[in-house]
DNA sequence: TGTACATCAGTGAACGCGCGTTCACTGATGTAC
DNA sequence: TGTACATCAGTGAACGCGCGTTCACTGATGTAC
């Protein structure tokens, strides 16, 4: 098996380059006018070619959109991962906070790309399966921070019994992994915790218990709620600019997932 | 000064009725196809009239959109207010939780109307000042719950000094109004707290101190973050259906704003 | 190394569509005396 | 109560625009012998 990543013929090289140019021009137009303003004809015009030529590269407008969506998910995921990897000093808390700020910075820099993946769905567009993996990178990055913090003993988690979680209330104290979960939520969280433990991406890190996972997802939704409100104008007249509010609330969210 | 709300002449009555019919048909199309699918021509077609006739009622497509946006903000605001008013048994906590669930239920019922006001901004559309008031109804409803809970002694708040908040750290305990706020956030929160205290809508309720206000806004962003994630598909494969997760997280958010 | 054929990239014209908005107009409704 | 005029609602044609996609084609690049 030989690696075939690099194009060999002139044709293949030209095709790879033009594909990149088309995608870049499309991203430029997306940034300028949003997803609805993106048109194949305009991209072709800007590149000085016939609009029909684009169909050699993308079979339809939706496929071009999908490529942009996948790119955006990968880019914001990479921003989070890089921020975590680059935070070598300090503990899990510093990594958590750095990831949140990196995600926000990415979004403020590219509001239309952010809106493409976290705003209202594009009408008539059905996200294909290829977007699922890239979309998971940001949440997985946060889970990774929690798992590492558990492995390092920074977060104290309670005992997790095999199978069903009992319905009894557990007093919530400093033990952030042992929130009382009941019914459907207990099942969903347990299944997710188990699935994450088996994931190949995290071979020898700790298991994140269901209770902590739920707190993590709550923090994750709040992070994106804040960014969306900031970008879409809901803070106008109150906490705008939102830097201070964001920093303050992220600090509280780090505490809420048990990061000291 | 006589009240002139009711139309007097046949012409005025017909105009009021047709305006309502146009708006209703537009809302139907919005629900079916989203904001971008909304077209004046299609509305006119469905109503059996010439497209040019619509210009007697709305000077442009954007004005029709504005009407729909204002209606949506008012509807979701009213849903929150009604839920609060209808929760006569129980304390502030019950009202807070009821309002959150009412907001979610409204959104799940009308995903496109929700997306219109809380999703990505419509490209090329600039929200006029007329949307500000209606947009504030939901957050004001939540602030009202907090103010009432303070007045009833359910929430214990710390001393609030006049004017500037000092930079000194305050130990966060059961006193949820006295989080340490610093810098720009302290200023913004103090200004907002003062503005709300002067608002004519809440004449004799308690002042919500800046620290509690910030916690309230954090809970507000999380509420809409959850709803957006649920509606826009980010929970697929994990906490979908999200009812249990939502109920659990809302309970924690009520606790986070100090509601016992 | 050279030739014959297959593959692919790109063109330009066309199809068929829908949109927002303007404009001169007709006929109905309202108002002042 | 009746008449003259002003106001308004609604029509239908038109302007000018841009879009996604298809198709038969030309010419360049690659490949098998």
Of all residues in chain A, the one with the smallest CA distance to B193 is A238
B126 confidence band (pLDDT: 50, 70, 90): confident
The pLDDT of residue B231 is 96
- Give me the tens of pLDDT residue by residue for chain A, a chain 260 residues long: 334 456 678 899 999 999 999 999 999 999 999 998 899 999 999 999 999 999 999 999 999 999 999 999 999 999 999 999 999 988 999 999 999 999 999 999 999 999 999 999 887 788 899 999 999 999 999 999 999 999 999 998 864 444 343 333 333 344 555 678 999 999 999 999 999 988 766 555 789 999 999 999 999 999 999 999 999 999 998 999 999 999 999 999 999 999 99
Rg, chain B, Cα only: 22
Residue A97 contacts strand D, CB under 7 A: no
How much of chain B is in helix, strand and coil states, percent to nearest 5?
65, 0, 35
Return the biggest CA–CA distance within chain B.
67
The pLDDT of residue A181 is 93
Distance in angstroms: CA A37, C1' D23: 27
Q: Residue B34, CB half-sphere, CA atoms under 13 Å: how many?
A: 16
For residue B118, which residues of chain A lie inside 8 Å, CB to CB?
228, 232, 234
The pLDDT of residue A234 is 96
B217 contacts A239? CB cut-off 8 A? yes
Q: A37 or B1: which carries more pLDDT confidence? A: A37
For residue A127, which residues of chain B lie inside 8 Å, CB to CB?
233
B252 touches chain A (CB under 8 A): yes
How much of chain A is in helix, strand and coil states, percent to nearest 5?
65, 0, 35
pLDDT (tens digit per residue) in B151-168: 999 998 864 444 333 333
Q: Which A positions 37-96 lie with beta carbon below 8 A of chain B?
A: 37
The pLDDT of residue A3 is 40
The pLDDT of residue B60 is 96
Of A120, A121, A185, the CB nearest to B248: A185
A133 touches chain B (CB under 8 A): no
Query: Running DSSP on this structure, what letter comes out for residue A89?
Result: S
The alpha carbon of A26 is separated from its chain's Cα centroid by a whole number of angstroms, namely 21
Between CA B141 and CA B134 the distance in angstroms is 11
DSSP B68-97: HHHHHHHHHHHHHHHHHHH--SS-HHHHHH
Q: Which B positions 198-227 lie with beta carbon below 8 A of chain A?
A: 214, 217-218, 221-226
Of B33, B115, B244, the CB nearest to A183: B244
Give the distance from residue A218's alpha carbon to the nearest chain B alpha carbon, in angstroms: 7
Is B170 a residue whose pLDDT tops 60? no
A237 contacts B34? CB cut-off 8 A? no
The pLDDT of residue A193 is 95
Q: In this structure, what token pair is assigned to residue B78?
A: 């009213």
B6 confidence band (pLDDT: 50, 70, 90): low
pLDDT (tens digit per residue) in B80-119: 999 999 999 889 999 999 999 999 999 999 999 999 999 9
Of B135, B214, B221, the CB nearest to A225: B221
Distance in angstroms: CA A42, C1' D24: 24
Taking residues B225-231, report their average pLDDT: 98
């Amino acid at each position: 098996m030989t690696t075939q990543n690099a194009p060999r013929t002139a044709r293949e090289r030209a095709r790879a380059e033009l594909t990149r140019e088309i995608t870049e021009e499309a991203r430029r137009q997306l940034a300028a006018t949003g997803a609805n303003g993106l048109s194949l004809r305009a991209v072709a015009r800007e590149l000085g070619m016939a609009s029909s030529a684009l169909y050699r590269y993308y079979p339809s407008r939706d496929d071009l959109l999908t490529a942009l969506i996948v790119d955006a998910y990968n880019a914001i995921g990479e921003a989070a991962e890089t921020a975590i990897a680059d935070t070598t000093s300090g503990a899990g808390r510093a990594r958590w906070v750095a990831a949140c700020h990196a995600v926000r910075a990415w979004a403020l820099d590219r509001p239309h790309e952010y809106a493409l993946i976290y705003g209202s769905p594009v009408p008539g567009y059905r996200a294909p399966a290829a977007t699922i993996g890239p979309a998971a990178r940001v949440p997985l990055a946060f889970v990774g921070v929690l798992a590492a913090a558990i492995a390092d003993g920074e977060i104290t988690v309670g005992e997790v019994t095999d199978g069903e979680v009992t319905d009894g209330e557990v007093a919530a104290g400093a033990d952030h992994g042992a929130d009382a979960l009941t019914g459907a939520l207990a099942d969903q969280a347990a299944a997710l915790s188990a699935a994450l433990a088996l994931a190949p991406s995290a071979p020898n890190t700790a298991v994140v218990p269901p209770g902590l996972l739920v707190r993590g997802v709550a923090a994750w939704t709040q992070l994106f709620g804040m960014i969306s409100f900031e970008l879409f104008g809901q803070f106008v007249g109150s906490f705008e600019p939102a830097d201070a509010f964001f920093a303050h609330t992220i600090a509280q969210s780090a505490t809420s997932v048990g990061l000291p």
